Amino acid sequence: MARPALADQPEARGTHRVSAGRTVVAAIALGTNLGDRAQHLERAVAALRRLPRTRVRGISSWLETEPVGGPVGQERYWNGAVLVDTELAPRELLDALLAIEAAEGRVRVAGVRDGPRTLDLDLLVHGDAVLDEPGLVLPHPRAEERAFVLEPLAEIAPGLRFPRSGSTVLEALANLRASGAERRVAPRAIASLGTPAEARAWCARERERGRRIGFVPTMGALHEGHLELVRRAARENDAAVVSVYVNPLQFDEKSDFDRYPRDFGSDVALLGPAGCAMAFTGTLAGFFAGLLGADGLLPVSLLVDPGPAAHGLEGALRPGHFAGVATIVDRLFDVVAPHVAYFGEKDFQQTLVVRDLARRRGAPPIVVCPTSREASGLARSSRNERLSNEQRAQAAAIFRALVSARAAWRSGERRADRLGAVMRAVLMDSALAVEYATVRDPDSWSADELAAPLERAQALIAVRLGGVRLIDNLRVDAPDPREPAA
C-alpha cells in the first residue's frame, strides 16, 4: 500500500498544534504475530502504564486477524488499541513506543514493512497534531484504511476524530466497510441444527479440520446488536457458530419466559447473511440429557455457582438468574468448545459472570463487544419490540442519564452515590420506573456502592416501562461513546 503524499497537502508539513506541557489524547495501535502474543501485548500495556506524564485511559480487547501484506505463511496477528492522556510531545511518545518495541525484541529493517514481528506499536493520533516529518506522520497515514486498527479503537474511542479527515473512528470504519476495502464475510449456506448432540458433532468435525470456531450464544429474537457480534465472529474465525435457545433456568418471572419470542427459522434467515456457519437450538432435556428430575427440572445441585460477580444489582433483583446463565453457558461451552466467545456489553454484569466462568474452566477467551445502540442512544434489545413509538422515545432517557454520569465524572465527581444521584435526577423527569441507577468499579465488583472515591466507574441502570424491563450501562471514565442523533 503506497504511502500518501502528505507533503503535497498544505496543512501537512510543520503544523504541529500541540503546545508544550498540554495534556492531549493519543491513540496507539498494538500488533504482534510472533511468540507469545498475549504476553507481548500485556507487557506493552504495562510499559505504557509506566511512561512518564502519561495515563492509560482505555484498552481494547485483542482482535485476531490474518496478516495484511508481507511474506506468505505468517502467523495470525493479535491487534489492539490503547488510549492515553499524555503530556509527551509526539516525537517523545514515538521514541518511547520504539523503545517498548525494542525491549520485546523487535528489530526494524529499513525498507521492510508488513513482515512478522514480536511487537508493533503505531502512534495513530496525538491530539490535533498534523505532521509530516521524517519517521513521524500524524495522524497515521494508514489508520483509516485498516479495519484491524479501527475496530479495536472503536471499542474504546468511537468518537475520536482524525485531525486530517475530520472523521470519527466510527465514521472511518463505516466508510471503510462501505468502500468494500475491508475483508468481508460472504453470505454462506448455513447449517441449521435442532439438537445439542448434532451441534457437538458438527463442531468436533470443524476442529478436526483445524478450523477456528467463534461462538455467539443468544436467546433468539435476533436484532442488529446480535448480528454485529456474529459478523465479528465470522471475520475473526473460520466458522461462526450461534446458539438460539430461550433458557428457562435464567428467568425469574414465568410470564417473562412465556412471552419471550421464539422463531428459530426467522433467526436462521438473518444469520446466513451475517456470515454464520452453523446455528443450533435445543431443549432443556437435550442440553442435560438424563439429568432432569421427574418434574422435568434440573436439580439445584447441578446449577453452576455464578461467583462473586453475581452479587448485587441484577443478582439481587433476579434471584437465581445468574446461576441459570452460568449453568447454560457452561453447557454451551461444553457443546461447542469454541476458540473464542463473544458477548455484548449491554448485559455488563453478565459479562463479568461469564468471564469468571471461563477463567475457572480455563477457556474460552471472552470478547466483550460494545453495546449496539439505536439512533436515540437506546441500547438494542429484543425487549424493545414490545415498546410503542412513544415508549421508545421515553426510554431514550436511559442513555441521557448514563451520559450525565459521564459528564459529572469528567467534571471531577468521583463519589458513587453522587454519580447515581445525577442519573436519578435525569430519570425522575421521565415515565420510567427506576429499579437502580448506580455506579460500580468494573474491575473490582461489589454488591453495594463503594463509599471511597472511585478510580474507575461503570454506570448501570435498570428501569421498567409499560411492563418491559430495560437495562443499560456505560463506562463513564472512558472516552466519549458515540452520541445519539439529535
Domain ranges of the chain: 19-179, 191-369, 382-475
Alpha-helix residue ranges (DSSP H) falling in 339-457: 348-361, 389-395, 397-410, 416-428
pLDDT for position 134: 87
Per residue of the chain (486 residues), give pLDDT as tens: 222 222 222 233 333 333 346 899 999 999 998 888 888 888 999 999 999 999 998 888 777 777 765 555 667 788 889 999 999 999 999 999 999 999 988 765 444 455 678 899 999 999 999 999 888 999 999 999 888 899 889 888 888 999 999 999 989 988 887 776 555 444 557 999 999 999 999 999 999 999 999 999 999 999 999 999 999 999 889 999 999 999 999 998 888 888 888 999 999 999 988 899 999 999 999 999 999 999 999 999 999 999 999 999 999 999 999 999 999 999 999 999 999 999 999 999 999 999 999 999 999 999 999 999 988 899 999 989 899 999 999 999 999 999 999 999 999 999 999 999 999 999 997 789 999 999 999 999 999 999 999 999 999 999 999 889 999 999 999 755 444 333
Count of residues for the chain? 486
pLDDT for position 202: 97
What residues have CB less than 8 Å from 459, skipping those under 6 apart?
402, 405, 406, 419, 423, 437, 438, 439, 473, 474, 475, 476
Architecture label for domain 382-475: 2-Layer Sandwich (3.30)
Q: Which of 125, 121, 151 is nearest to 61 (CA)?
A: 151
pLDDT for position 484: 39
pLDDT for position 61: 75
- The span from the CA of 290 to the CA of 268, in Å, is 28
Q: Which of 15, 453, 177 is nearest to 169 (CA)?
A: 177
140 is catalytic: no
- The span from the CA of 426 to the CA of 259, in Å, is 30
Three-state secondary structure call for residue 319: coil
- Residue 67, amino acid: P
Q: Which of 354, 381, 370 is nearest to 471 (CA)?
A: 381
Angle, helices 90-103 vs 37-49, to 10°: value is 140
End-to-end CA distance of the chain: 38
- The CATH class of the 191-369 domain is alpha beta
DSSP-derived letter for residue 379 is B
DSSP-derived letter for residue 444 is S
pLDDT for position 39: 83
**Distance set, CA 48 to CA 98, 199, 361, 380 (Å):** 12, 43, 30, 35
- Cell numbers that stand for 254 in this block: 414465568
Architecture label for domain 19-179: 2-Layer Sandwich (3.30)
Which of these is catalytic: 40, 226, 321, 339?
226
pLDDT for position 248: 94
Buried b (16+ CB within 10 A) or exposed e, 361-383: eeebebbbbbbbbbeebbbbbbb
Strands 77-86 and 63-65 turn out to be antiparallel
Domain 19-179 and domain 191-369, same fold? Reply is no
Virtual CA dihedral for 95, 97, 99, 103, nearest 10 degrees?
-170
The sign of the dihedral angle between the CA atoms of 394, 396, 399, 403 is: negative
pLDDT for position 3: 24
